[in-house]
Amino acid sequence: MKNRLRLLRAERGWSQADLGKRLQVSRQTVNAIETEKYDPSLPLAFRIARLFGGRIEDIFENGAD
Amino acid sequence: MDQGNPLKCYDARFLGQVLVLAGLIVALSFLGRGLERGSALRLAVGGAQGALIAFVIRFTVRAIRRLDELQLRIHLEAIAISFAGTAAMGTAWRFVERAGAPGFDYGVLLWPIMVLLWAVGVAVRRRHYG
């Protein structure tokens, strides 16, 4: 699944570890989502969307569409 | 468990708990050897070893459940690899034994092999997710 997480994080000047702390996940999880090796669960996707003040579909894009 | 770092499954507290339990299991093994086979005391020692293994499993499951979702996935995939690998190695060894290879008690090596394959599985899957 494509996403804009790296861009949104960079806009705020956060490191992967900073974002991981805010989302209560590991830095590796943030990296795996950013590199599109791992698709987050729905609860985590909602947490990400809430943190960046948007909707899930503003951040994640289903590549199959 | 360090809540600030969900990547750390095996923190010092968890390792300490498991090492103490493992030490007790080994100590009970030596104690049991000196007792008469079939005696109530020896059976009680065997039961106590089983109970300690149950505690090891409980601590391990509790540690894994505290991980974040990707780490949890990595560990569950590694456990699947370990489970299948241990079973496959046991079956393969039985075939070799039947063909004439020297027999040995595979049960003694079961846990170390499972833990080793689990660790290998975690390393391989972590590499996959970057």
Spans of all domains in chain A:
2-55
B11 contact residues in A (CB cutoff 8 A): none
Q: Looking at chain B, how many residues does it have?
A: 130
* Residue B51 shares a structural domain with residue B61: yes
ipTM of the shown complex: 0.86
User: In b/e form, how buried is each residue of B25-62, taking b as 16+ CB within 10 angstroms?
Assistant: beebeeebeeeeeeeeebeebeeebeebeeebeebbee
Q: Cα(B91)–Cα(A62) distance, rounded to whole angstroms? A: 43
Q: Into how many domains does chain B fold?
A: 2
CATH of domain A2-55: 1.10.260.40
Q: What is the pLDDT of residues B68-90, one digit of tens each?
A: 999 999 999 999 999 999 999 98
Cβ contact, residue pair B70, A28, below 8 Å: yes
Q: Looking at chain A, how many residues does it have?
A: 65
Q: Closest to A31 (Cβ–Cβ): which among B6, B71, B130?
A: B130
Q: Cα(B72)–Cα(B69) distance, rounded to whole angstroms? A: 5
Q: Closest chain A residue to B66 measured between Cα atoms?
A: A25
Among B67, B94, B114, the domain-final residue is B67
Cβ contact, residue pair B130, A37, below 8 Å: yes
| Angle in degrees, CA B61, B62, B68, rounded to 5 | 95
Q: What is the pTM of this model?
A: 0.77
Shortest distance between the Cα of A34 and any Cα of chain B, in A, equals: 11
Among B37, B67, B97, the domain-final residue is B67
Task: Extract the tokens encoding B23.
Answer: 């030490």
* Residue B112 shares a structural domain with residue B123: yes
Q: Cα(B121)–Cα(B77) distance, rounded to whole angstroms? A: 7
If pLDDT is split at 50, 70 and 90, which confidence band does B107 have?
confident
Q: Which of A37, A63, A38, A58 is nearest to A48 (CA)?
A: A58
Does residue B10 register a pLDDT over 70? no
B64 contact residues in A (CB cutoff 8 A): none
Q: What is the pLDDT of residues A18-57, one digit of tens each?
A: 999 999 999 999 999 999 999 999 999 999 999 999 999 9
**Exposed (0-12), middle (13-18) or buried (19+): which is B91, by Cβ within 10 Å?**
exposed
If pLDDT is split at 50, 70 and 90, which confidence band does B9 have?
low
What does pLDDT average to over chain B? 85
Q: What is the pLDDT of residue B109?
A: 81
Shortest distance between the Cα of B125 and any Cα of chain A, in A, equals: 11
Residue range(s) defining the domain that contains residue B94: 68-130
Does any CB of chain B come closer than 8 Å to the CB of residue A4? no
Q: Closest to B69 (Cβ–Cβ): which among A27, A31, A41?
A: A41
Q: What is the pLDDT of residue A50?
A: 97
Does residue B8 register a pLDDT over 60? no
Q: How many contacts (CB atoms, under 8 Å) link A and B?
A: 39
* Residue B56 shares a structural domain with residue B84: no
* Residue B57 shares a structural domain with residue B107: no
Q: What is the pLDDT of residues B11-45, one digit of tens each?
A: 677 878 888 988 898 899 888 888 888 899 999 99
Q: What is the pLDDT of residue B3?
A: 40
Q: Closest chain B residue to A17 measured between Cα atoms?
A: B5
* Residue B113 shares a structural domain with residue B55: no
Q: Closest to B6 (Cβ–Cβ): which among A25, A32, A38?
A: A25
Q: What is the pLDDT of residue B17?
A: 83
* Residue B11 shares a structural domain with residue B60: yes
Assess contact for B66 and B1: CB atoms under 8 A: yes
* Residue B72 shares a structural domain with residue B103: yes
Q: What is the pLDDT of residue B59?
A: 87
Q: What is the pLDDT of residue A25?
A: 95
